[in-house]
């Protein structure tokens, strides 16, 4: 099957097409596995906005730094610490005495809050549908145990509205398998009805080769298509208990995306009943407007408008050791993938 998929890819003689890997992990895996080298020259791969750290706006980083400077202990996944805000990063805030703690799960932050009742612990809740259930569980746990010194700074993103904003930026989407595992495929089916083609892909060499082979078989037929190429994990209806949990704890809200701007109903915030765990309300966080570095092209990269090596700072002023923008910091960022694997354009 793998050999057949490879053959289909290598023998593609159809029209040029642009394929967007919506998910940053796909970008890295496709590079790492050498799949780019199999693709014919008329197949153009574009990186999309599916990296949680990359799409988190500068405003959010500034708010997290504001809370750290107010004396809150900030708990976060590691990547976010080095993302530049307007003036500094969370790493900079830490160097100035702020307590910034790396955690591996939201529940670690709840535990830390329970063990340190004198501290105000804020978890930085970013990411897509994939990470939301664990955050909801953490909030529920804090509520059940009456842990009142725990809260979250929420900037969760949801994909359906983002796909609408991305329409036209690629001919075919490779949808993020882990997101579809939670949401199911209804949104992709609707997009197909609206003329948008895509496949859901897994992350192993076999799964990715199958996905490309399906794309290069179906695209020349000229009809919009959708195919689930990750059936071992993604069910049509998604993960119903996770959907119910999200719906219980959170509700849709407009959300600011780096690059894509404010997209209506593309985020999640805590419902009013959980306001005690909403750091923005709890600490009356002001409406901070961040200022991204004007030379950084992360916004265009996340929209598929340019590729990392087209940024004048790429590999010079901006490297993984000294990142200027979020896309170079994150392990799922497009700039870090291009830097690590060395493709020019
Ligand atoms: S190379 Fe650096 S400065 Fe340029 S777009 Fe990427 S992250 Fe931003």
DSSP annotation string for 211-227: HHHHHHHHGGG-S--EE
Angle between helices 186-193 and 159-166 (to 10 degrees): 20
> Which atom of ligand 1 is nearest the CA belonging to 301?
5
The preferred substitution site among 325, 332, 344 for testing ligand 1, maximizing ligand atoms within 8 Å of CB, is 325
Cβ 296 under 6 angstroms from ligand 1 = yes
Rounded to the nearest 5 degrees, what angle is found at the Cα of 295, between the Cα atoms of 335 and 324?
50
pLDDT of residue 343: 61
User: How many residues are there in the chain?
Assistant: 345
Residue to mutate (ligand 1; options 292, 326, 335; most atoms within 8 A of CB): 335
The ligand 1 atom nearest the CA atom of 295: 3
The answer to whether the CB of 339 is under 6 A from ligand 1 is no
Ligand 1, atom 1: closest residue by C-alpha:
314
Residue 325 CB–ligand 1 contact under 6 Å: yes
Q: At what angle do helices 240-249 and 132-144 cross, to 10 degrees?
A: 60
Q: According to the model, what pLDDT value does residue 345 have?
A: 43
| Predicted local confidence at residue 260, as pLDDT | 84
How remote is the CA of residue 294 from the centroid of ligand 1, in Å?
10
Q: Which of these, 247, 287, 284, 282, lies nearest to 268 by C-alpha position?
A: 247
The pLDDT score that the predictor gives to residue 204 is 93
Q: Is the CB of 318 under 6 A from ligand 1?
A: yes
Cα(311) to centroid of ligand 1, in Å?
6
158 CA to middle of ligand 1, Å? 24
pLDDT at 259: 82
> Which residues does the chain have with pLDDT short of 70?
343-345
Map out the domains of the chain as residue ranges: 2-42+160-201+208-228, 54-159+238-282, 298-340
Q: Residue 4 burial (CB < 10 Å; 0-12/13-18/19+)?
A: exposed
CATH superfamily of 54-159+238-282: HypD, alpha/beta domain 2 (3.40.50.11740)
pLDDT recorded at residue 344: 47
> Distance, CA 64 to ligand 1 centroid (Å)?
22
Q: In the CATH hierarchy, which fold is given to the domain comprising 2-42+160-201+208-228? A: Rossmann fold (3.40.50)
Q: What is the mean pLDDT of the chain?
A: 94
CA distance 332 to 31: 12
Q: H or E stretch including 139?
A: helix 132-144
Domain 2-42+160-201+208-228 shares a fold with domain 54-159+238-282: yes
Other Cβ atoms within 10 Å of 245 Cβ, number: 18
pTM score, whole prediction: 0.92
């Amino acid at each position: 099957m793998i050999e057949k998929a490879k053959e289909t890819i290598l023998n593609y003689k159809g029209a040029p097409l642009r394929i967007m890997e919506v998910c940053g992990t796909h970008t890295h895996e496709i590079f790492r596995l050498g799949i780019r080298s199999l693709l014919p020259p008329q197949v153009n791969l574009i990186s999309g906005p599916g990296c949680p750290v990359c799409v988190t706006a500068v405003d959010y980083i500034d708010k997290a730094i504001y809370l750290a400077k107010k004396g809150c202990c900030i708990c976060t996944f590691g990547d976010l610490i080095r993302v530049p805000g307007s003036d500094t990063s969370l790493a900079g805030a830490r160097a100035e005495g702020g307590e910034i703690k790396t955690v591996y799960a939201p529940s670690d932050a709840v535990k830390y809050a329970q063990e340190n009742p004198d501290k105000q612990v804020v978890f930085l809740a970013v990411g897509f549908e994939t990470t939301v259930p664990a955050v909801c569980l953490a909030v529920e746990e804090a509520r059940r145990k009456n842990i009142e010194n725990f809260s979250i700074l929420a900037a969760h993103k949801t994909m359906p509205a983002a796909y609408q904003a991305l329409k036209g930026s690629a001919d075919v989407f490779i949808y993020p398998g882990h997101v579809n595992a939670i949401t199911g495929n209804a949104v992709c089916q609707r997009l197909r009805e609206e003329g948008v083609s895509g496949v859901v892909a897994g992350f192993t060499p076999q799964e990715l080769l199958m996905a490309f082979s399906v794309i290069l078989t179906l695209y020349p037929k000229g009809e919009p298509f959708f195919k689930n190429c990750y059936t071992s994990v993604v069910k049509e209806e998604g993960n119903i208990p996770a959907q119910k949990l999200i719906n219980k704890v959170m509700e849709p809200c407009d959300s600011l995306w780096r690059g894509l701007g404010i997209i209506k109903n593309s985020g999640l915030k805590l419902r009013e009943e959980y306001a005690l765990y909403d750091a923005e309300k709890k600490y009356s966080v002001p409406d901070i407007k961040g200022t991204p570095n004007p030379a950084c092209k992360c916004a265009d990269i996340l929209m598929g408008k340019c590729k990392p090596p087209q940024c004048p700072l790429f590999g010079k002023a901006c490297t993984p050791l000294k990142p200027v923008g979020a896309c170079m910091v994150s392990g799922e960022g497009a700039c870090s993938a291009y830097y690590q694997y060395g493709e020019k354009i």
